[in-house]
Amino acid sequence: DAGVTQSPTHLIKTRGQHVTLRCSPISGHKSVSWYQQVLGQGPQFIFQYYEKEERGRGNFPDRFSARQFPNYSSELNVNALLLGDSALYLCASSSLPGNTIYFGEGSWLTVV
Amino acid sequence: AQSVAQPEDQVNVAEGNPLTVKCTYSVSGNPYLFWYVQYPNRGLQFLLKYITGDNLVKGSYGFEAEFNKSQTSFHLKKPSALVSDSALYFCAVRDRDAGNNRKLIWGLGTSLAVNP
């Protein structure tokens, strides 16, 4: 069975641009979470979605938004990119909120 | 407030020796505890979890962890380390009694280096 898949794997954007990252959860999983991991640090929680509704939000500015689709896939959008947004963005899925989460390989975002 | 501490930034062990990666936690209720491993330039992989029951939890790749409620610890262990175990290890906790607050709280990670 396929695990959590994310796209793109790597991308480079310039300051001020917008980026959309995509995630497909493990088949049968209805909850998706997004994390930001800066080099040398642990993952920082951004959002959790379940059944297309936001269930949790971390301490990130409004430039960050997300949504979940009827097929449980998800998008993370970041507007007005800053250099500090350069990070590995991880998507994780679980069957239900609160259950064990399984991560994708991440999307490496570099903002120049 | 919930928190997780991984007191060692780096752990070095020789191949074949036992390894321990430490984790202590603080939650107001009962904890769910997790260990994840991250290999270079990869996502995080689930290793094991403690939910309830036996305090010794066995996970992937020969790893195990012991839940100690009195010491609020959940140390990761392996009897015989392999060079391929070299990676970044993260401990995480969720308060089981937190209701809708199901966010995982993460430690800062411990870099494990296994020397041949």
Q: Each residue's pLDDT tens digit in chain A (112 positions)? A: 689 999 999 999 999 999 999 999 999 999 999 999 998 888 999 999 999 999 889 999 999 999 999 999 999 999 999 999 999 999 999 988 878 899 999 999 999 9
Q: Which residues contact B21 (CB under 8 A, 6 or more apart)?
A: B6, B8, B11, B35, B75, B76, B77, B89, B91, B110, B112
Q: In this predicted structure, what is the pLDDT of residue A97?
A: 80
Q: Is pLDDT at B100 greater than 80 in this prediction? A: no
Q: In this predicted structure, what is the pLDDT of residue A39?
A: 84
Q: Is pLDDT at B4 greater than 60 in this prediction? A: yes
Contact: A103, B34; criterion CB under 8 Å: no
Least confident of A18-27, B14-23, B51-60: B51-60
Contact: B43, A41; criterion CB under 8 Å: no
What are the start-end ranges of the E strands in chain A?
5-7, 10-13, 19-24, 31-37, 44-50, 53-57, 64-68, 74-78, 87-94, 102-103, 107-111
Minimal C-alpha gap between A105 and chain B (Å): 4
Q: In this predicted structure, what is the pLDDT of residue A12?
A: 98
Look at residues A7, A1, A28, A13 and name the one whose alpha carbon lies nearest to residue A74.
A7
CA A8 to chain centroid, in Å, comes to 11
Largest Cα–Cα separation, chain B: 46
| Pairs across A and B, CB distance < 8 A | 45
Q: In this predicted structure, what is the pLDDT of residue B101?
A: 53
- Pick the residue with more confidence: B97 or B50? B50
- Average pLDDT of chain B? 92
Report the residue from B104, B108, B109 with minimal CB separation from A45.
B104
Report the residue from B32, B102, B106 with minimal CB separation from A56.
B102
